[in-house]
């Protein structure tokens, strides 16, 4: 049945492909009851998944105990205890044997039962244990049905993944497969899954409610990441219209690829520094392939999220060296671990917080695990000691001057200790991410203790507008071109210029044509973005003069609503660079 749905376009481009639905354990899979003859096999499948999960957890507990400490390792022992708990295994066996449920459906129901029980308690500690149960159940379900592995539906080479939400670790796990497009029920334009999709140039649409009920494996699906439309089983005319758009999009990419070695310049010749945001080695290769001037943001979370346990100093150093050797001009800004919010690793302790994005995340978490944090700082300082490398270190979520001072003195101590150990370290300038409004407001004071600034507009926008960046219900508020955001950005950029401190912007807005034009108008000359967006921005830059962008900024600053700003800029950018319409996903 044909269906057309609207979501939020989070990664531009058009893809036509075959649906592959990921029914996570948190969304009850549509399954038929088991035949009597299938029950014994299903029980064996469940036991096997339990054994594999226990083996994972034992290994994790051991490594975490030796590298982070006994206390953080306790969480994995607690997870083993849940898996061995007869109350849990009996429930599962009963669901399979008596109710003839497949293991995945049984897991879902057992989780629902636990959730209902935990919801009734007012004890915060107990409530937090639900996160552990969910974690254990997710691990089990991964062993029951490893994503895409051995699945005939996953054979198509133009696969459109349809899911409730894609966790960052899942996008990484899917990385080996050639994905054509992504559609998710939740998530917003700056959710990390969206950022990963953009990094790989995969068209994606988020926030399409109930899409999993309308799509089944094998359906033909169109994803238009520019307009936010998803079409399921299009009629032949619609299909051919979208296939044409897809071809045009590919052609545009080919044309842009030819500019790879051309310097990034405005139409009047002024140079612009276009850097790449990366999550790992593949992105570093992509950054070089698109001709980035360096890496402006290396999000190190994925190094930790995809590591089987905890990467120690030598492992981290090896990873940084490998990436450094691959990234353009051997220039890289490495951001220290930014966990929390939608990215967690269990060994650092997981709290059930009412407001995780405003809670115990990022640098706050690093302060609480100083040894763990210092291991990363040491590895980054040592990477800076590599020949011909230009390594900078960036700290996320800094809110106050005291925090930045504390970071500086920790880094200084680490540097001295490395020198005493005779290990080569590099100069490694220290930078502040401006992503909390408090830091933006007090930027002048903070500038005295940093070497450079990188504006993290994804978080800055969500905190300024008090609108969760992952929640499609408030995405209309999470707008980087809203008058409030523009005022704050302009002020931060001006303050950095006055203080003579280098400033760049590494949030997703740098790669959006309309936002880019205004940032240039504010005097920003360095931006970092997903590699896939860089060629389009380089082309756009060559259509704009500094004077034109200043004029656009003056006009835009007089407008009172986001809608007015968006409409005005769309018309201007379309007029100045009509060939780039397909790249706009705002």
The catalytic site residues sit at 192, 506
Output the smallest distance, CB 297 to ligand PEP, in A: 6
316 touches which of ligand PEP, Mg ion, none (CB within 5 to 8 A by kind)? Answer: none
Q: CA neighbours within 13 Å on the CB side: how many for 581?
A: 8
Q: How far apart are CA 289 and CA 257, in angstroms?
A: 9
CB-nearer residue toward ligand PEP: 102 or 456? 456
The residue from 338, 342, 403, 470 that contacts ligand PEP (CB under 6 A) is: 338
Please give the residues from 393 up to 452 whose contact with ligand PEP meets the rule CB under 6 A.
Answer: 435
CB-nearer residue toward ligand PEP: 102 or 431? 431
393 touches which of Mg ion, ligand PEP, none (CB within 5 to 8 A by kind)? Answer: none
Tokens coding 384: 């800076």
| 8 Å CB contact between 431 and 404 | no
219 binds ligand PEP per the rule CB under 6 A = no
CB-nearer residue toward Mg ion: 132 or 435? 435
**Binding string to ligand PEP for residues 177 to 206, with x set by CB under 6 A, is what?**
-------------x----x-----------
581 exposed, middle or buried (CB, 10 Å; 0-12, 13-18, 19+)? middle
7 touches which of Mg ion, ligand PEP, none (CB within 5 to 8 A by kind)? Answer: none
DSSP letter (8 states) at residue 13: S
346 touches which of Mg ion, ligand PEP, none (CB within 5 to 8 A by kind)? Answer: none
Integer CA distances (angstroms), 125 to 40, 114, 352, 353, 359, in order: 38, 15, 9, 11, 16
Residue holding tokens 């758009």? 245
142 touches which of Mg ion, ligand PEP, none (CB within 5 to 8 A by kind)? Answer: none
Residue nearest to Mg ion (CB): 459
299 touches which of ligand PEP, Mg ion, none (CB within 5 to 8 A by kind)? Answer: ligand PEP
Output the smallest distance, CB 134 to Mg ion, in A: 24
Tokens coding 287: 């950054």
| 135 contacts: CB under 8 Å, gap ≥ 6 | 79, 346, 350
The residue from 56, 224, 390, 459 that contacts Mg ion (CB under 5 A) is: 459
Residue 470 in 3-state DSSP? Answer: coil
Query: What are the two backbone dihedrals, phi and then psi, of residue 21, each rounded to the nearest 5 degrees?
Result: -90, 130
- Entry field: residues in the chain: 586
Output the smallest distance, CB 191 to ligand PEP, in A: 9
Output the smallest distance, CB 343 to ligand PEP, in A: 8
Closest CA to 540 of 510, 480, 481, 580: 580
Q: How far apart are CA 492 and CA 505, in angstroms?
A: 11
The residue from 311, 384, 456, 480 that contacts Mg ion (CB under 5 A) is: 456
CB-nearer residue toward ligand PEP: 186 or 458? 458
507 touches which of Mg ion, ligand PEP, none (CB within 5 to 8 A by kind)? Answer: ligand PEP
Please give the residues from 443 up to 482 whose contact with ligand PEP meets the rule CB under 6 A.
Answer: 456-459
Closest CA to 342 of 331, 334, 333, 350: 350
Output the smallest distance, CB 548 to ligand PEP, in A: 26
With DSSP H G I counted as helix, E B as strand and the rest as coil, what are the percentages for the chain, rounded to 5? 55, 15, 30
Output the smallest distance, CB 519 to ligand PEP, in A: 13
Bridge partner list, 224: 14, 229
Sheet holding 179-184, edge to edge: 3-6, 229-232, 220-224, 14-22, 159-163, 179-184, 204-206, 8-11
Q: Could you please report the per-residue DSSP string of 106-140?
A: HHHHHHHHHHHHHHH---HHHHHHHHHHHHHHHHH
Task: Give the dihedral sign, CA 282/286/288/294.
Answer: negative
Output the smallest distance, CB 300 to ligand PEP, in A: 10
Instruction: Region of 39 please: left (phi>0), alpha (psi -120 to 50) or beta.
Output: alpha
**Binding string to ligand PEP for residues 494 to 533, with x set by CB under 6 A, is what?**
------------xx--------------------------
CB-nearer residue toward ligand PEP: 57 or 195? 195
Please give the residues from 544 up to 563 whose contact with ligand PEP meets the rule CB under 6 A.
Answer: none
Output the smallest distance, CB 400 to ligand PEP, in A: 18
Tokens coding 132: 């552990």
472 touches which of ligand PEP, Mg ion, none (CB within 5 to 8 A by kind)? Answer: none
CB-nearer residue toward ligand PEP: 53 or 191? 191
Q: How far apart are CA 305 and CA 144, in angstroms?
A: 21
Please give the residues from 299 up to 328 whose contact with ligand PEP meets the rule CB under 6 A.
Answer: 299
Q: Kindly determine how many residues on this chain lie close enough to bind ligand PEP according to the rule CB under 6 A.
A: 12
Residue holding tokens 């978080």? 459
Residue 411 in 3-state DSSP? Answer: helix
Q: State the DSSP H helix or E strand holding residue 264, giving kind and residue range, or none if neither.
A: none
Q: State the DSSP H helix or E strand holding residue 14, giving kind and residue range, or none if neither.
A: strand 14-22
**Binding string to Mg ion for residues 423 to 442, with x set by CB under 5 A, is what?**
------------x-------
CB-nearer residue toward ligand PEP: 190 or 475? 190
CB-nearer residue toward ligand PEP: 60 or 450? 450
506 touches which of ligand PEP, Mg ion, none (CB within 5 to 8 A by kind)? Answer: ligand PEP
* CB atoms inside a 10 Å sphere around CB 574: 15
CB-nearer residue toward ligand PEP: 459 or 539? 459
**Binding string to Mg ion for residues 376 to 415, with x set by CB under 5 A, is what?**
----------------------------------------
User: Maximum distance among all alpha carbons in the chain?
Assistant: 76
Q: How far apart are CA 432 and CA 397, in angstroms?
A: 8
| 8 Å CB contact between 24 and 223 | no
Query: What are the two backbone dihedrals, phi and then psi, of residue 391, each rounded to the nearest 5 degrees?
Result: -110, 135
For ligand PEP, the binding residues (CB under 6 A) are 190, 195, 297, 299, 338, 435, 456-459, 506-507
Residues forming contacts to Mg ion in the complex (CB under 5 A) are 435, 456, 459
């Amino acid at each position: 049945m044909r269906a057309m749905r609207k979501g939020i376009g989070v990664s531009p481009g058009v893809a036509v492909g075959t649906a592959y639905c990921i029914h996570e354990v948190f969304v009850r899979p549509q399954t038929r009851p088991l035949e009597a003859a299938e029950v014994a096999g299903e029980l064996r499948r469940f036991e096997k998944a339990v054994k594999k999960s226990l083996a994972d957890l034992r290994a994790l507990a051991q490594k975490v105990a030796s590298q982070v400490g006994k206390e953080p390792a306790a969480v994995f022992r607690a997870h083993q205890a849940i898996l061995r708990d007869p109350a849990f295994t009996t429930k599962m066996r009963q669901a399979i044997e008596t109710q003839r449920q497949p293991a995945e459906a049984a897991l879902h129901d057992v989780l629902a039962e636990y959730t209902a029980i935990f919801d009734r308690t007012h004890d915060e500690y107990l409530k937090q244990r639900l996160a552990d149960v969910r974690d254990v159940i997710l691990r089990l379900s991964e062993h029951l049905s490893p994503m895409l592995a051995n699945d005939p539906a996953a054979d198509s080479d133009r696969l459109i993944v349809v899911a409730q939400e894609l966790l960052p670790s899942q996008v990484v796990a899917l990385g080996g497969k050639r994905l054509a497009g992504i559609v998710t029920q939740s998530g917003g334009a700056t959710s990390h899954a969206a950022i990963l999709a953009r990094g790989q140039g995969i068209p994606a649409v988020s926030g399409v409610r109930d899409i999993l009920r309308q799509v089944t494996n094998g359906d033909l699906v169109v994803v238009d990441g520019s307009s936010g439309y998803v079409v399921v089983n299009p009629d032949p005319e619609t299909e051919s219209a979208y296939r044409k758009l897809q071809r045009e999009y590919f052609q545009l990419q080919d044309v842009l690829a030819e500019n790879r070695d051309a310097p990034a310049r405005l139409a009047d010749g002024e140079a612009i520094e276009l850097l790449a945001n990366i999550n790992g080695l593949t992105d570093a290769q992509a950054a070089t392939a698109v001709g980035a001037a360096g890496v402006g943001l290396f999000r190190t979370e994925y190094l930790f999220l995809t590591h089987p346990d905890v990467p120690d100093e030598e492992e981290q150093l090896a990873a940084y060296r490998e990436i450094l050797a691959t990234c353009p001009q051997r220039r890289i800004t490495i951001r220290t671990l930014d966990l929390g919010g939608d990215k967690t690793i269990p060994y650092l302790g997981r709290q059930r917080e009412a407001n995780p994005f405003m809670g115990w995340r990022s640098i706050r978490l690093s302060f609480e695990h100083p040894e763990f944090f210092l291991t990363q700082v040491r590895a980054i300082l040592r990477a800076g000691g590599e020949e011909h490398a230009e390594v900078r270190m960036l700290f996320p979520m800094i809110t106050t001057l005291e925090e930045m001072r504390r970071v500086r003195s920790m880094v200084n101590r680490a540097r001295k200790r490395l020198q005493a150990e005779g290990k080569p370290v590099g100069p490694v300038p220290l930078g502040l991410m401006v992503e909390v409004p408090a830091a933006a407001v007090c930027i002048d004071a903070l500038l005295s203790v940093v070497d450079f600034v990188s504006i993290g507009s994804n978080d800055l926008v969500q905190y300024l507008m008090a609108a969760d960046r992952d929640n499609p219900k408030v995405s209309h508020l999470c707008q980087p071109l809203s008058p409030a955001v523009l005022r704050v950005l302009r002020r931060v950029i001006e303050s950095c210029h006055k203080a003579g401190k280098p400033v760049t912007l590494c949030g997703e807005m740098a790669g959006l044509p309309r936002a880019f034009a205004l940032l240039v108008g504010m005097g920003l000359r360095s931006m970092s973005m997903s590699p896939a967006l860089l060629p389009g921005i380089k082309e756009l830059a060559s259509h704009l003069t500094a004077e034109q962008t200043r004029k656009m900024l003056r006009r835009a600053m007089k407008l009172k609503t986001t809608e007015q700003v968006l409409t005005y800029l769309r018309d201007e950018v379309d007029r100045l660079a009509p060939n780039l319409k397909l790249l706009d996903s705002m």
